[in-house]
Amino acid sequence: MTIGTRLFVLSMLLLLTPAANAAKAYAPTSVDMDVKKVSKHVYYVEGAAGIATDNEGFISNAGFVVTGDGVVVFDALGTPSLAHKLVGKIREVTDQPIRKVIVSHYHADHVYGLQVFEALGAEISAPEGAQKYTQSDAARMRLEERQISLEPWVDEDTRLVLPDITVSKSDHFRMGDLTFTINYMGKAHSDGDLTMLVEPDRVLFSGDIIFEGRLPFVGNADTNHWLDTLTRLETSGLTALIPGHGPASTDPHQTIALTRAYLAFLRDVMGAAVNEFTPFDEAYAEADWSRFQNLPAFAEGNRINAFQVYLSMEAELLEQ
């Protein structure tokens, strides 16, 4: 081979490598992902009601807003494969560049797709608390577990992407003719949560501070602050609310009422038990769960939710 030929081959290899990598980067997903339009500029895709590893990991929602001057995405789904599919769906609606991704909170089902948007050059904003999560042992162990339970869609190339912008107070920005208000909610459902209001459409993306059509997941939430957040959430005039899980609601007041009633009930029952030194098992058995027991995920989630609230309210009592 002459030097000229070698240089030619080398340059062809360099040209081909990125394309080859991109082609093998994301295992294809077979899930149905229907884009739903909720207003003039706002669309979303809805994950199935189920546990984290159901439906190839497609159990949470993501949305996108077409502004005329670029696209804003809300949440990044639970695998890079799902995010890659979402990008394809966005491309069916518009060829405007995806400029920003707003992340409601750092839980696996909402952030494992971020690297797809990072590769497209989108700017990623997330609430304060994201760093705490990404550096935690829990996050590392969760990723290792999902590399097995959601294989091949989460694999050794899947990684946690840190945000470009950390949001620690409420703010707004404009893109095209639209105004986006990012509300920082503090530590409510997770180590940090935010919501996004799109105007003039008056559509609110709530992330996981609102669950629709299933039992809320409490996890390590600060239920006191979460409840307070919901009580202060301004819903008047909204045309739709897109929760982190479940269908978009055209009756936001009603939707918020369910999450609020559930958290308030947990805190009432478990708070009384803690104050009276009633053992958890006894308090759980005596509580009247009839209002919530027909909700999907009740069997899997209610006892552990109640136990978390019991333990955290014990801690609150000791802090007083």
Interacting residue ranges for Zn ion, rule: CB under 5 A: 60, 109, 208, 244
Which H or E element spans position 10?
A: helix 3-25
C-alpha span between 184 and 192 (Å, rounded): 8
Q: Which is nearer to Zn ion, 38 or 218 (CB)?
A: 218
Of 60 and 259, the one with the shorter C-beta distance to Zn ion is 60
CB closer to Zn ion, 50 vs 70 = 50
- Residues in CB range of 309: below 8 A, 6 or more apart: 218, 223, 266, 267, 270
Cα separation, 17 vs 237, in Å, equals 51
CB of 272 to Zn ion, least distance (A): 29
Distance, in Å, from the CA atom of 268 to the CA atom of 40, rounded to the nearest integer, reads: 41
Sign of the C-alpha dihedral computed for residues 13, 16, 22 and 24 taken in this order? negative
Residue with smaller CB distance to Zn ion, 41 or 189? 189
* 150 vs 274 by CB, closer to Zn ion: 150
Nearest distance in Å: CB 109, Zn ion: 5
264: left (phi over 0), alpha (psi -120 to 50) or beta: alpha
Question: Looking at beta carbons only, is 60 or 206 nearer to Zn ion?
Answer: 60
Q: How far is the CB of 303 from Zn ion (least distance, A)?
A: 19
In angstroms, give the least distance from the CB of 60 to Zn ion: 5
Query: Of 59 and 72, which has the nearer Cβ to Zn ion?
Result: 59
Residue 136 C-beta: closest distance to Zn ion, Å: 17
Three-state SS for 148-196 is HHCCCCCCCCCCCCCCCEEECCCEEEEECCEEEEEEEEECCCCCCEEEE
At residue 84, the 3 state secondary structure works out as helix
Which amino acid, one-letter code, is at 150? L
Residue with tokens 């059509």: 213
Smallest separation (angstroms) from Zn ion to the CB of 62: 11
User: Closest distance between Zn ion and the C-beta of residue 107, in Å?
Assistant: 5
